Copies of this chain bind each other. A is one copy, B any other.
Amino acid sequence: ARPRVGYFYAGRGENRILLERIRSFKVKDFHAPPIVIFESESVYEAIVRLFLEDVGTLYILDKDRLLAGVVSRKDLLRAALGNKDLTKIPVGVIMTRMPHIYTTTPEESVYDAAKKLIVHEVDSLPVVVPRSGWVGGWEVVGRFTKTTVTRAFLALAEEDED
């Protein structure tokens, strides 16, 4: 279904180069800063934060600042429809909780992370690194979204202009 017009030639060598090039893009080269909130904060706080930061997903931290969950615009919309006092409900109650969360790492390829977004039908992957020691878990160092992939797609097209 994909058009092959505009390809002048496509020997195996050129294909290999394109493939290597796309797969050389790493999460750490494109990801955005994470927008986080503690699980004890209210759903109302989470909604305000989402609007102020203009993001689609917030990452939720536990008291040790480790990844506890994820909350999306859709989760918040569902909660807002409930018509309860949103300042009284902790965001931890409505979030999707670890380990039911897909994540990525700084060293993963944009290609592999993008595949997770599509396969698991999620909008966002927290970029995590392990924290070892007394309290183990995942520290959140970035966010990887379809916006990230869109930026990578444009970068791929534009770096060839010079």
Query: How near does chain B come to A12, taking the closest CB pair, in angstroms?
Result: 9
One of A62-70, A72-80, A91-99, A129-137 contacting the partner: A72-80
Question: What total of chain A residues lie within 8 Å of the partner, measured CB to CB?
Answer: 61
- Is B8's CB under 8 angstroms from A20's CB? yes
Query: Do A25 and B47 touch (CB < 8 A)?
Result: no
CB distance from A57 to the nearest CB of B (A): 11
Whether A151 touches B29, Cβ cut-off 8 Å, given contacts A22-B157, A145-B146, is no
Q: Please measure, in the bound complex, the distance between the C-alpha atom of A77 and the C-alpha atom of B81, giving whole angstroms.
A: 9
Selected contact of A149 from candidates B5, B8, B123, B149, CB within 8 Å: B149
Of A17, A146, A149, A150, chain B has the most CB atoms within 10 Å of the CB of: A150
**Binary contact track A123-157/B, C-beta < 8 Å → 1, others 0:** 10000000000000000000001110111111111
Q: Are A19 and B160 in contact (CB under 8 A)?
A: yes
The contact sample of 14 A-B pairs, CB cut-off 8 A, is A2-B155, A4-B24, A6-B23, A14-B14, A14-B17, A15-B160, A19-B160, A19-B161, A23-B157, A51-B74, A76-B77, A80-B81, A145-B146, A150-B150
Please list the residues of chain A having a beta carbon within 8 angstroms of any beta carbon in chain B.
1-10, 14-26, 29, 47, 50-51, 54, 56, 73-74, 76-78, 80-81, 83, 86, 110-111, 114-115, 117-118, 121, 123, 145-147, 149-157, 159-161
